[in-house]
Structure 1
Amino acid sequence: MKKIISLLILWLSLGIQAQDKPVVSDWTAITQSLNVQDKQNWKFRVSAKIRKENDNNAKCAIWARIDKLDNTTGFFENQAYSGINVTSEWKTFTIEGTIDSNAKSLKIGAFAKDNGDFYFDDFKLEVNDGKSKKWTEIALRNSDFEEDLVSADWLEGIGRNKNHVKNFIITTSDNKPFSGKKSLLMKGQNIIGNMPHGKFAEVNGIKMYYETYGEGEPLLMLHGNGQSISAFMNQVDDFSKKYKVIIVDCRERGKSTYDKTKELTFDIQVEDLKQFLDQQNIKKVKILGWSDGGILAILMALQHPDLVDKIACSGANIFPEGIIDEDIKDSKETLAKLIKENKDGKNDVYIDLYNLDLKYPNLKYEDLKAIQCPSLIVAGDKDVIKTEHTVKIAESIPKGQLAILPNSTHYVVAEKPELFNSLVMDFFEGK
């Protein structure tokens, strides 16, 4: 992904795109919505008991969001990205905030990401008008999950679309509830990027996490800037029927580590990948890259041509100005805010990720003439990469092919997986 507002905003934006049908995802949520138009500027706090099992360091948390009368988002917090420590023992977690002045509704709920058994119990919502010290409890429907789940109480999704995620079972459970006879269980399963067979490879001063699927010719999948292995949840099944799919977490993302003393650049990531492929004894590889992963695919084809058989790149650019101007402007503003608010290094990784895309890569169109392998260059017609930039990239590669997919954004890999997978598969299988 090119625009990395933050993982919090990424979570929200992907939820907005969710459709009223089963989807494949590495996260899910449930929501209860409350009208707060008569409580604008009041303080609120929401709490719940949480524990988890069989999780392999997966995330779960409570979250809260204000939707305004003008349909924009106000207050928003998802504690999954706040460094909270959820264990196998019940613990109370709390979010506190202020209801926006033009608030319409307050959405609260539970969030779970990756494989594991995530338990929630005893949700509680309180408000304070700011004129007294007294907090007033607002009744929630089925807050203790003693009754069976129904959508009238808790809606699956983030409150904007009914959204069932195939990879999760959401139900009530009698397994060690905090109180009463039941609690909420959100069970994630078969989610790539968090699988028991995952391994680490020590390369270029870091530990690179990877997972493999299927047999046959090697196919390396490379995710985008703010993503991880799970970005390709919609691709693994299809491609592993034909290829040995290898998916890695690039440094500073997912489970891979990084060296804080070294700048995050595309060149250092290319060296990571080169050493990784050497360790795996891979002599020739096809590469599917999304966004920054597409940039890495292009650089691998340039710097290590003997290793690369074919590349397919979606939403890649070869210099920062290839991104739409508004997106660059937003990224610069967000970077400045992250730097200003960077206490105790909490924003270091985000700052690195923003700098990566604002400063790099620095290729020229004529550089692409050196790419000798067949190259499929893909983008959505509503991509954050300028269409003319994508077209010029494909035209500059001697064996370049171009595909601009209609009614698609930078997330076409996830938005239209059947179309995308078929297109890439045909390219890889073609002569």
Structure 2
Amino acid sequence: MTTTRTDTLTFKSDYSDVNGLKMYYEIYGEGKPLVLIHGGGSTIQTTFGRVIPLLAPHRKLIAVELQAHGRTSDRENELSFEQDADDVALLLQNLNIPKADIFGFSNGGTTALQIAIRHPEQVDKVIAASALSKRSGVPSAFWDFMSQARLDNMPQQLQQAYREVASDPEGLQTMHDKDARRMVTFKDIPDAQIQSIKAPTLLIIGDNDVITPEHATEMHRLIPNSQLAIIPGGHGEYIGEITTLKPDTQDSDFVIPLIENFLQKENG
């Protein structure tokens, strides 16, 4: 385990053997565990870099990088949200964390839903931010774009972030292609599985998100103990995801008080 100190934070990082992967993770702060699961094509920092300093004073953050992303190794199988969920669940077992809150963004939000479905005994609360559970949850143009996805179209901030941390920068193409194939072949999560989520769940989207308000509302109605927040802005703007940052972006623009209030409430 490596300890790293920055101007504002100290964190520990390491790798864990998880279902054939060397899974990279970082641990910040002390307190009740909150797992952070990044979006597609991303790293810990590109998704959560702006909000980790805001969450770490009150929580033990376990930030992960999923298969083929960032510093985590790859394996022969294609990417799936179910496999990612199983990987995160086993990582928590390896870290002797029996139960945690889960916060996932975009693809990570869909993974968070799968953790709640497949490993409910390990989940306390779920924050599913800009999560997708049905193909109808995004405009049809999204699927047209994904079917023609090229590395050249991947945001430069995400490409640069991968190259800065990955042991094999050539893996960028593989990660991109696997992420694209996962979306092209995406299948709806059955309503019965969404309804089976017992953990208190906070659904968040932007009002100008890739995810439609109608889809978020549908999930909210399906998940028995859920809340829905629709925040002004685009996909991930509410947490300062790296591709959404503007010169005048302020920490006060982020939804951290909303998230902390949700996490602090007693279950039920």
TM norm structure 2: 0.81
2:173 is aligned with 1:347: yes
Q: Which has the higher contact order (CA 8 A, sep 6+)?
A: 2
Provide the secondary structure at the position in 2 that maps to 1:347.
helix
Q: Which residue of 2 aligns with 1:429?
A: 264
Structure 2 Cα separation of the partners of residues 292 and 396 of structure 1:
19
Q: Which residue of 2 aligns with 1:218?
A: 33
State which of 227, 240, 258 in structure 1 corresponds to 2:56.
Answer: 240
Name the aligned partner's letter for residue 178 of structure 2: D
2:136 is aligned with 1:321: yes
Name the aligned partner's letter for residue 429 of structure 1: Q
The structure-2 alpha-carbon separation of the partners of 1:383 and 1:345, relative to structure 1 and needing over 3 Å to count, comes to closer
Higher percent of residues as strand: 1
Question: After superposition, where does 1:83-94 map in structure 2 within 5 Å?
Answer: none
Structure 1 Cα separation of the partners of residues 142 and 116 of structure 2:
27
2:110 is aligned with 1:284: no
Provide the secondary structure at the position in 1 that maps to 2:15.
strand
Q: Which residue of 2 aligns with 1:273?
A: 88
Q: Which residue of 1 aligns with 2:148?
A: 333
User: Once superposed, what is the RMSD of the aligned Cα atoms?
Assistant: 2.5
Q: Which runs of 5+ in 2 are unaligned?
A: 154-169
Provide the secondary structure at the position in 1 that maps to 2:255.
helix
2:223 is aligned with 1:400: no
State which of 179, 183, 187 in structure 2 corresponds to 1:357.
Answer: 183
Provide the secondary structure at the position in 2 that maps to 1:326.
helix
- Using the TM superposition, give the Cα deviation of residue 263 of structure 1 relative to its aligned residue in structure 2, in angstroms: 1.4
Provide the secondary structure at the position in 1 that maps to 2:27.
strand
Structure 2 Cα separation of the partners of residues 219 and 227 of structure 1:
19
Name the aligned partner's letter for residue 137 of structure 2: G
Q: Which runs of 5+ in 1 are unaligned?
A: 1-114, 116-188, 339-343
- Using the TM superposition, give the Cα deviation of residue 302 of structure 1 relative to its aligned residue in structure 2, in angstroms: 0.7
Provide the secondary structure at the position in 1 that maps to 2:147.
helix
- Using the TM superposition, give the Cα deviation of residue 367 of structure 1 relative to its aligned residue in structure 2, in angstroms: 2.2
TM norm structure 1: 0.51
Checking the alignment, whether the CA contact within 8 Å between 2:8 and 2:53 is kept in structure 1 is no
Question: After superposition, where does 1:125-274 map in structure 2 within 5 Å?
Answer: 197-230=12-45, 231-259=47-75, 261-274=76-89
Checking the alignment, whether the CA contact within 8 Å between 1:384 and 1:410 is kept in structure 2 is no
- Using the TM superposition, give the Cα deviation of residue 197 of structure 1 relative to its aligned residue in structure 2, in angstroms: 3.4
Look at both structures and tell me which one has the larger radius of gyration over its CA atoms.
1
Identity of aligned residues (%): 28
Checking the alignment, whether the CA contact within 8 Å between 1:214 and 1:241 is kept in structure 2 is yes
Q: Which residue of 2 aligns with 1:41?
A: none
Structure 1 Cα separation of the partners of residues 127 and 39 of structure 2:
14
Structure 2 Cα separation of the partners of residues 336 and 232 of structure 1:
23
Checking the alignment, whether the CA contact within 8 Å between 2:34 and 2:102 is kept in structure 1 is yes
Deviations 1:228-259 (A, max 9, x none): 11021122122111110110111111100010
- Using the TM superposition, give the Cα deviation of residue 374 of structure 1 relative to its aligned residue in structure 2, in angstroms: 0.4
Structure 2 Cα separation of the partners of residues 191 and 263 of structure 1:
37
Q: Which residue of 1 aligns with 2:216?
A: 390
Higher percent of residues as helix: 2
Checking the alignment, whether the CA contact within 8 Å between 1:220 and 1:288 is kept in structure 2 is yes
The structure-2 alpha-carbon separation of the partners of 1:272 and 1:302, relative to structure 1 and needing over 3 Å to count, comes to same
